[in-house]
């Protein structure tokens, strides 16, 4: 029984082994069948895709060839029409300018009678022989018809329009605007002819020839004169001419009137100043003796007045320096002299001011007493105030109609820079009255004296928005005492807020900036159309605005090398960015500058989309010209990193240390392209991020790292960054970002903490808003206060429309592809795939959706890693190729197929 049991156990083991072998073979057969089915399906899909692609290419090639043929035919027809129009305009012009009164007698014939020229009619031939027109009898007939039968000599507009149409058609320009303007030009000619005819009817100038108005002009003028009289017709036609001209040339009557008024006021001020100089020179001979008598009388007056504990009356005298011929100056000395006496009012009324002109030498006798003679008790010391005038727009305006780019030469495109006439001119603003300056100076002196702070020479420099009061504190006064009096001085002057600069860098003085009661608007045209900006030798010029003394301030972005802008909502950041872009567009050529713009708010900088063929860069991995999506922003930053690495390789190969030297070698021809390194001119690239906070919220790590790397390394190869944010907190402006942005601009903020976050010091919380800003250049201990130049949305649109309407480059400036770079990095054995590859594959097949966002959400990874995983899935034939904004096609239908594949 034991042997039988043993044999039975062996048989059982054999059976089990046989069953396992059969089961394993069946499983292998099933897997092989599944693999064969998958392979067959993949082959069918590949064949179908190749056939579809081939058919699409054939169809597309045929359509392209057909469109090209049609385009060539239309272009030839357009060229023929352009030549015919140009020739017709030239012949008509020759006929009109060679017309004479002797031709009029020979043109009293009809069109049919002109056929007699072909049949040698003796009468017609005799007329042709006596015709003096350059085009013969036909030319005389045409000239007589246009001059006498239509609108007179204003018919010269017709050949001009024909020539313009010929040029526009030949240059392939948009004709919609030309049609509009052509109709208005013809209407303008009719109105002018009728206006001349009305002048002939009034008999103001009866000698005006009939050809000046023509039959149509004479008829219209006679009809209007019969209806509303000659005077009414005169005024009506004059108004019609003005209105039609405004619509024809798209002018602004208010701007034109303002410009004329500005020039008239400027001439009036200059003539008034010349008259004052003449009067001052006439009294110059007796000025010295008058000064002596004045000093003697003042001393006698002081002796008669008793001292009192009551508040003294203060008399403010103003002495203007006489401008000598050949030595002009813009500085006038205002002497604030404090005298002791009784007064019933604590303030100075306008009737107390005594103004007289004395020579400059007299001021020595009227200056403050020496320091070793302290003032008497209850008596305030005399204080000399120098009022310095800043630069005026009239001194700086040059060639208003000129462009800012001169002698541009580019082999690829013909670029016409924007005209300064696209910008609104600087209007007249109310000047600061001397009474306001004197009153603020007196109040400042009184408030400081209340806290036992004596000051010496006070220099007052009016600016467009604030006035700088600069003084020297007396010996023994600590600067901390003055700095702590900001709120007290603001209370005394009833100002919105003041800023104390103690001390002013580079000077041994203390400054107090006090807002003007009537601030002036600094327009962008008054900054761009100045000698300082036009002649600035800067690589990337930025017109930031005007200083507190009214001087234009320009900076070089290439030397900054990056700029950080922050401020509260509505403080002027967007206007500041637009003014920076406008200054670059006015001064730079498309071959020298490219712009990469990220606008998460989607509305601030979208008007620059029309610059894609001139100034904008193109990222091949995004479908946006102005990047608004945070994921596309990360891709653009990565693409700029690749461009930076590419440029560094080119500079290393050429042996140059920066972009300027590299481009100079290219222009000199000493650096030639090679098969390995395609050397060529490299433009500057300026990256503008309008709102960093939104990017930091959505993808902080993915955004912070490339920005920091670009800021650290990109300066030498011409990539510069301008970052703006309305939330200046430490989680947005991180230490890594701030460390690489030495140049900063702070607009008005709410708290001192925000000011210290931007500038590492207080001050921005005391700004006035509306473009009032503090600019801190790299290496400067204290910021500089500026008033940002104002530019309207309409001005920006006009600039972009002017540039975008021109023929640009055939292909935009394209950055390296991040996707292609990822493909190169992921090629290799399966062991080099991402750790989350298998999990992502199951996720994609399960949801049948091959998108980057799905992997981001489910696996909680960043955009860059998710995009890299999707590229790996494509290389593994699990998902299909990139298809624009749509999700990628999933090639596997179930996870079982995926398991068999893996």
Q: Is 354 helix (H, G, I), strand (E, B) or coil?
A: strand
Instruction: Between 42 and 574, name the one with better pLDDT.
Output: 574
* Beta bridge partners of residue 596, listed in sequence order: 687
Q: Which of 432, 457, 468 is nearest to 508 (CA)?
A: 457
Considering 356-360, 796-800, 807-811, the range whose residues carry the highest mean pLDDT is: 796-800
Q: What is the pLDDT of residues 163-222, one digit of tens each?
A: 989 988 888 777 777 887 888 888 888 888 888 888 876 655 555 556 678 888 888 888
- Given 779, 794, 809, the domain boundary residue is 794
What is the Cα–Cα distance from 898 to 878, expressed in whole angstroms?
Answer: 8
Whether 564 contacts 743, CB under 8 Å: yes
* Residue whose C-alpha is closest to residue 207's, from 218, 199, 215: 199
Give how far Cα 643 sits from Cα of 501, 649, 790, Å.
43, 10, 34
- Least Cα distance to 393 among 526, 271, 525 occurs for 526
Instruction: Report, in this order, helix, strand and coil percent for the chain, each rounded to 5.
Output: 55, 15, 35
Tell me the C-alpha distance between 868 and 852, whole Å. Answer: 9
Contact 305, 340 (CB under 8 A): yes
Strand 455-462 and strand 383-388: the pairing is parallel
- Domain assignment present for residue 489? The answer is yes
Least confident residue range of 112-121, 663-672, 720-729, 810-819: 112-121
- SS3 call for 44: helix
Dihedral over alpha carbons 102, 105, 106, 111 (to 10 degrees) = 130
Give pLDDT, residue 465: 87
Could you tell me the CA-to-CA distances from 298 to 294, 320, 341 in Å, in that order?
A: 6, 19, 13
Q: What is the CATH number of the domain that holds 445?
A: 3.30.980.40
Domain-embedded: residue 353: yes
CA-wise closest residue to 613 among 632, 591, 597, 628 = 591
Strand pairing partners for 595?
616, 686
Same structural domain, 774 and 864: no
Q: Which of these, 642, 714, 658, 652, lies nearest to 685 by C-alpha position? A: 714
Same structural domain for residues 584 and 730?
Answer: yes
Q: Give yes or no for residue 614 having a pLDDT over 80.
A: yes
- The CA distance from 304 to 301, in Å, is 5
- Tens of pLDDT, residues 466-478: 888 888 888 888 8
**Domain finish residue from 493, 515, 537:** 515
Dist CA 198 CA 121 (whole Å): 42
Region for 564 from its dihedrals, namely left if φ exceeds 0, alpha if ψ lies in -120 to 50, beta otherwise: beta
What is the arithmetic mean of pLDDT over 380-384?
A: 48
Quick one: pLDDT band at residue 125, thresholds 50, 70, 90?
A: low
Cβ neighbourhood burial of 823 (10 Å; 0-12, 13-18, 19+): middle
Q: How confident is the model at residue 268 (pLDDT cuts 50, 70, 90)?
A: low
Same domain, residue pair 649 and 694: yes
Q: Across the chain, which distance is largest between two alpha carbons, in Å?
A: 156
Query: pLDDT at position 209, please?
Result: 59
Tokens linked to 431: 């000047």
Integer-rounded Cα Rg, in Å, for the chain is 41
Query: Is residue 774 pLDDT above 70, yes or no?
Result: yes
Shortest CA distance to 399 belongs to which of 544, 530, 547?
530
Asked if residue 481 and residue 612 are part of one domain, the reply reads: no
Helices (H) and strands (E) in the chain, counts: 27, 19
**Phi, psi (rounded to 5 degrees) for 850:** -95, 70
Point out which residues pair with 337 in neighbouring strands: 315
Tell whether omega for the bond before 561 is within 30 degrees of 0, i.e. cis: yes
Containing domain of residue 886, as a range? 818-901
Instruction: Identify whether 270 is part of a domain.
Output: no
From 759, 794, 829, the end of a domain falls on 794
What pLDDT digit, counting tens, does each position of 632-651 carry? 999 999 999 999 999 999 99
Q: Which candidate, 800, 741, 718, 740, places its Cα nearest to that of 540?
A: 718
Per-residue pLDDT at 298: 44
Domain match, 299 and 436 both? yes
Distance (Å, rounded) from C-alpha 716 to C-alpha 471? 43
Segment 249-259, tens digit of pLDDT: 765 556 666 56
Q: Is 152 helix (H, G, I), strand (E, B) or coil?
A: helix
265 pLDDT above the threshold of 90: no
- Identify whether the C-beta of residue 736 lies closer than 8 Å to the C-beta of residue 712: no
Residue 480 lies in a domain: yes
Count up the domains in the chain and report the number.
3
DSSP state of 702: H
Based on the fold, state whether residues 452 and 586 are members of the same structural domain. no
Q: Indicate the pLDDT class of residue 310, thresholds 50, 70 and 90.
A: very low
Asked whether the predicted pLDDT for residue 320 surpasses 60, the reply is no
Average pLDDT value for residue range 740-759: 91
The per-residue pLDDT for 410 is 40
* Sequence-distant (≥ 6) Cβ neighbours of residue 255 within 8 angstroms: 424, 425
Strand 617-618 versus strand 354-355 pairing type: unpaired
Residue 112 lies inside a defined structural domain of this protein: no
Contacts of 606 (CB under 8 A, 6+ apart): 599, 626, 628
Alpha helices in 692-830 (DSSP H): 692-713, 735-738, 752-759, 793-804, 818-826
- Please check whether residues 580 and 436 belong to one and the same domain: no
Percent of the chain with pLDDT over 90: 19
Give dist(CA 195, CA 193) in Å, integer.
5
CA gap 249, 158 in Å, rounded:
17
The C-alpha atoms of residue 192 and residue 154 are separated, in whole angstroms, by 8
Judge if 649 and 702 occupy the same domain: yes
Cβ(816)–Cβ(862) below 8 Å: no
Flag whether pLDDT at 723 surpasses 80: yes
Asked if residue 768 lies in contact with residue 749, where contact means CB atoms within 8 angstroms, the answer is no
Residue 53 lies in a domain: no
**Phi and psi at residue 790, to the nearest 5°:** -95, 130
What is the rounded average pLDDT of the residues 347-373?
35
Cα gap 315→356, rounded to integer Å: 13
Average pLDDT, whole number, for the chain?
77
Spatial distance between the Cα atoms of 18 and 37, rounded to a whole number of angstroms: 28
For residues 546 and 487, which has the higher predicted lDDT (pLDDT)? 546
* pLDDT for the residue 492: 82
Q: What is the DSSP letter of 123?
A: H
Distance CA 337, CA 324 (A): 26
CATH number, domain containing residue 843: 1.10.10.10
User: Is the whole model's pTM more than 0.85, yes or no?
Assistant: no
Q: Please give the Cα distance from 576 to 789 (Å, whole number).
A: 7
Asked, for residue 92, whether it belongs to a domain, the answer is no
Residue found by looking up tokens 């580019």 in the block: 410
DSSP state for residue 113 in the 8-state scheme: G
35 vs 80: CA distance, rounded Å: 66
Whether residues 313 and 348 fall in one domain:
yes
Per residue in 79-119, pLDDT (tens digit) is: 899 899 999 999 999 988 888 776 666 666 656 666 655 56
Is residue 315 over pLDDT 50?
no
Residues 566 and 511 in one domain: no
**Beta-bridge partners for 163:** none
**CATH code: domain of residue 641:** 3.40.50.300
Q: What does the block give as tokens for 193?
A: 């002819």
pLDDT 10s digits, 566-613: 999 888 899 999 999 999 999 999 999 999 999 998 888 999 999 998
Output the CA angle 299-304-306, nearest 5 degrees: 115
d(CA 508, CA 495) in angstroms, rounded, equals 26
* CA 636 – CA 621 distance, rounded (Å): 8
Q: Are 872 and 863 in contact (CB under 8 A)?
A: no
Expressed in angstroms, the distance from the first to the final Cα of the chain is 52
787 and 839 fall within a common domain: no
Where are the extended beta strands (E) located within 563-640?
563-566, 593-598, 617-618
Residues 752 and 686 in one domain: yes
Q: Which of 280-284, 485-489, 499-503, 559-563 has the lowest mean pLDDT?
A: 280-284
Instruction: Give buried/exposed letters for 524-533 (b at 16+ CB in 10 A, else e).
Output: bbbbbbbeeb
The whole-number pLDDT of residue 616 equals 94
Domain assignment present for 748: yes
């Amino acid at each position: 029984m034991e042997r039988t049991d043993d044999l039975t156990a062996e048989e059982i083991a054999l059976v089990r082994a046989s069953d396992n072998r059969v089961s394993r073979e069946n499983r292998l057969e099933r897997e092989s069948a599944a693999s064969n089915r998958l392979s067959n399906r993949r082959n069918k899909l590949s064949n179908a895709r190749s056939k579809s692609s081939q058919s699409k290419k054939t169809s597309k090639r045929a359509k392209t060839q057909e469109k090209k043929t049609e385009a060539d035919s239309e272009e030839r027809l357009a060229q023929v029409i352009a030549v015919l129009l140009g020739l017709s305009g030239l012949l008509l012009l020759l006929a009109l300018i060679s017309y004479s009164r002797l031709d009029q007698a020979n043109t009293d014939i009809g069109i049919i009678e002109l056929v007699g020229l072909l049949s040698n009619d003796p009468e017609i031939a005799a007329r042709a022989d006596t015709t003096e027109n350059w085009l013969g009898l036909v030319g005389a007939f045409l000239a007589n018809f246009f001059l006498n039968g239509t609108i007179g000599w204003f018919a010269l507009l017709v050949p001009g329009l024909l020539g313009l149409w010929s040029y526009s058609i030949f240059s392939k320009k948009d004709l919609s605007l030309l049609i509009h303007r052509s109709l208005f030009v013809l209407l303008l000619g009719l109105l002018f002819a009728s206006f001349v005819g009305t002048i002939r009817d009034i008999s103001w100038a009866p000698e005006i020839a009939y050809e000046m108005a023509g039959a149509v002009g004479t008829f219209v003028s006679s009809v209007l004169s019969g209806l509303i009289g000659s005077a009414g017709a005169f005024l009506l036609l004059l108004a019609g001419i003005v209105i039609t001209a405004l619509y024809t040339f798209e002018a602004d009557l208010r701007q034109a009137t303002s410009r004329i008024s500005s020039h008239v006021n400027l001439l009036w001020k200059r003539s008034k100043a010349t008259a004052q100089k003449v009067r001052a020179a006439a009294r110059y001979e007796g000025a010295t003796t008058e000064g002596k008598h004045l000093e003697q009388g003042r001393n006698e007056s002081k002796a008669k007045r008793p001292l009192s504990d009551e508040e003294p009356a203060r008399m403010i005298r103003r002495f203007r320096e006489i401008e000598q011929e050949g030595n002009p100056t813009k500085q006038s000395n205002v002497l604030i002299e404090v005298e002791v006496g009784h007064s019933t009012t604590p303030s100075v009324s306008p009737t107390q001011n005594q103004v007289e002109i004395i020579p400059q030498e007299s001021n020595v006798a009227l200056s403050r007493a020496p320091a070793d003679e302290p003032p008497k008790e209850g008596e305030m010391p005399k204080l000399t105030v120098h009022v310095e005038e800043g630069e005026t727009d009239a001194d700086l305006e040059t060639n208003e109609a000129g462009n800012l780019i001169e002698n541009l030469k580019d082999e690829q495109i013909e670029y016409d820079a924007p005209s300064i006439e696209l910008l609104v001119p600087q209007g007249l603003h109310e000047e600061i009255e001397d009474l306001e300056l004197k009153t603020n100076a007196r109040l400042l002196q009184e408030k400081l004296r209340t806290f036992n702070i004596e000051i010496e020479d006070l220099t007052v420099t009016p600016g467009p928005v604030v006035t700088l009061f600069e003084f020297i504190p007396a010996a023994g006064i600590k600067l901390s005492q003055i700095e702590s009096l900001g709120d007290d001085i603001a209370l005394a002057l009833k100002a919105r807020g003041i800023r104390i600069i103690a001390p002013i860098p580079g000077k041994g003085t203390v400054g107090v900036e006090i807002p003007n009661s009537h601030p002036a608007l600094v327009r962008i045209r008054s900054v761009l159309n100045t000698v300082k900006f036009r002649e600035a030798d800067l690589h990337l010029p930025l017109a930031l605005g005007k200083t507190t003394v009214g001087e234009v301030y320009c900076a070089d972005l290439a030397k900054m090398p990056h700029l950080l802008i922050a401020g509260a909502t509505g403080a002027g950041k967007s206007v500041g960015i637009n003014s920076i872009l406008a200054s670059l567009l006015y001064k730079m050529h498309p071959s020298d500058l490219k712009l990469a713009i990220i606008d998460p708010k989607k509305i601030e900088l979208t008007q620059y989309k029309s610059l894609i063929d001139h100034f904008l860069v193109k990222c091949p991995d995004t479908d946006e010209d102005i990047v608004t999506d945070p994921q596309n922003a990360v891709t653009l930053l990565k693409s700029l990193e690749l461009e930076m690495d590419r440029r560094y390789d080119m500079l290393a190969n050429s042996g140059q240390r920066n972009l300027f030297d590299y481009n100079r070698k290219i222009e000199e021809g000493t650096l030639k392209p090679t098969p390995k390194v395609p050397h060529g001119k490299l433009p500057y690239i300026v990256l503008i991020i309008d709102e960093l906070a939104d990017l930091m919220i959505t993808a902080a790590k993915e955004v912070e790292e490339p920005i920091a790397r670009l800021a650290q390394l990109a300066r030498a190869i011409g990539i510069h960054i301008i970052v703006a944010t309305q939330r200046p907190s430490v989680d947005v402006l991180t230490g890594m970002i701030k460390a690489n942005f030495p140049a900063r601009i702070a607009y008005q903020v709410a708290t001192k903490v925000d000011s210290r976050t931007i500038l590492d010091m207080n001050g921005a919380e005391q700004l006035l808003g509306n473009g009032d800003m503090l600019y801190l250049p790299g290496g400067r201990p204290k910021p500089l206060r500026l008033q940002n130049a104002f530019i309207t949305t309409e001005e920006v649109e006009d600039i972009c429309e002017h540039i975008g309407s021109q023929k640009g480059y055939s292909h935009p400036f394209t950055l390296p592809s991040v996707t292609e770079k990822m493909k190169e990095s992921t090629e290799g054995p399966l062991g080099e795939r991402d750790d989350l590859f298998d999990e992502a594959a199951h996720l994609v097949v399960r949801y049948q959706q091959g998108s980057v966002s799905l992997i981001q959400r489910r696996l909680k990874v960043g955009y860059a890693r998710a995009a890299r995983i999707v590229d790996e899935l494509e290389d593994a034939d699990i998902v299909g190729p990139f298809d624009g904004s749509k999700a990628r096609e999933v090639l596997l239908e179930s996870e079982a197929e995926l398991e068999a594949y893996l």
